[in-house]
Structure 1
Amino acid sequence: MAGANMERCSWCGTEDIYVEYHDAEWGVPQRDSRMLWEMLVLEGFQAGLNWITILKKRENFREAFEGFDPDKIATWGEPQIEKLLQNPGIIRHRGKIAATITNAQAWQAAEQNGGFDRFIWDYVDHQPIQNDFQSMSNVPAATDLSTRMSKDLKKAGFKFCGPTIVYAFMQACGLVNDHMTNCPRHSEVARLSQ
């Protein structure tokens, strides 16, 4: 892991929780189907907010959503939605909560059809894309690939997965390496991809 004085990607700032996320998790290739699903759900909750808001509430989300167990969440209905709307520890947005239930059901269908992890990683031929951005201003909010994945996710029944959300998901889960080239994590994450 990179040192305390490294020149990190500027987006992570200096707050400990953000720095730790940048240094240990963001961009690392994630191949666990349930973790990929959890990250897609959290990226959906992040829509319209800053990611640090989600990071600070992530453990509350995990508790409220039973460890992000899609098999449990797929069975939920209005009583669980109403309960979650009263939970101040999460983002209380009816549409996003309902979408999590729908997304759990879509995840189950993907698992039955070869696996959600395979579905996601097929878009990059199971090998992370290594970008070489030198400035945050060069990083796109969405790409043709994230647009295609978004459309396919929606066809598969997923909600809150527009092209921008999907690109952020791809960055977070290491389908693309968008660490800046001057950030030591760029080469570290690239090595993890091999």
Structure 2
Amino acid sequence: SAINNAQAFIEIQKEFGSFDEYIWGFTNGKVIKHEYLTESDLSSKISKDLKKRGMKFVGPTIIYSYLEAVGIIDNHQENCFKFKK
């Protein structure tokens, strides 16, 4: 699946110019704050789209974690040093 996902990733880059443009396009470049979930409508939508494009092992929970890791979803609590108002 790693090779398969890499090929799908390259196709997304070709279509959108970069994976960054693709993934941030789902939120129009906006950060989502304080959901405190393990999956969401957004992660489900992205998961379905990636699967449609041929990726595997990209379920809603994995995608939600990815969105947190890249900063699209910001779940930092107010007492966290990374919290931004």
TM-score (ref. length: structure 1): 0.41
TM superposition shift of 1:113: 0.2
Q: Which residue of 1 is the match for residue 70 of structure 2?
A: 173
TM-score (ref. length: structure 2): 0.90
Code of the aligned partner of 1:129: I
Q: Which residue of 1 is the match for residue 24 of structure 2?
A: 121
| 1:142-161 deviation per Cα after TM superposition (whole angstroms, max 9, x unaligned) | 00110011000111111111
| 1:27-49 deviation per Cα after TM superposition (whole angstroms, max 9, x unaligned) | xxxxxxxxxxxxxxxxxxxxxxx
Structure 1 gaps of 5+ residues are 1-98, 134-138
Which has more radius of gyration? 1
Counterpart selection for 1:112 from 14, 28, 32: 14
Q: Which residue of 2 is the match for residue 101 of structure 1?
A: 3
Q: Structure 1 CA distance, aligned partners of 2:53 and 2:22?
A: 10
Code of the aligned partner of 2:2: T
| 1:26-80 deviation per Cα after TM superposition (whole angstroms, max 9, x unaligned) | xxxxxxxxxxxxxxxxxxxxxxxxxxxxxxxxxxxxxxxxxxxxxxxxxxxxxxx
Which structure dedicates a bigger proportion of its chain to helix? 1
Q: Structure 1 CA distance, aligned partners of 2:13 and 2:50?
A: 13
| More displaced stretch, 164-173 vs 108-117 | 108-117
TM superposition shift of 1:130: 2.2
Q: What is the identity percentage for the equivalent residue pairs of Structure 1 and Structure 2?
A: 38
- Superposition misfits of 4+ residues, deviation over 6 angstroms: none
| 1:85-134 deviation per Cα after TM superposition (whole angstroms, max 9, x unaligned) | xxxxxxxxxxxxxx111111001101110122111111111121122x6x
Counterparts in 2 of 1:1-194, with a 5 A limit?
Answer: 99-114=1-16, 115-131=18-34, 139-187=36-84
Q: Structure 2 CA distance, aligned partners of 1:184 and 1:126?
A: 23
Q: Structure 2 CA distance, aligned partners of 1:127 and 1:144?
A: 16
Code of the aligned partner of 1:127: K
Code of the aligned partner of 1:119: Y
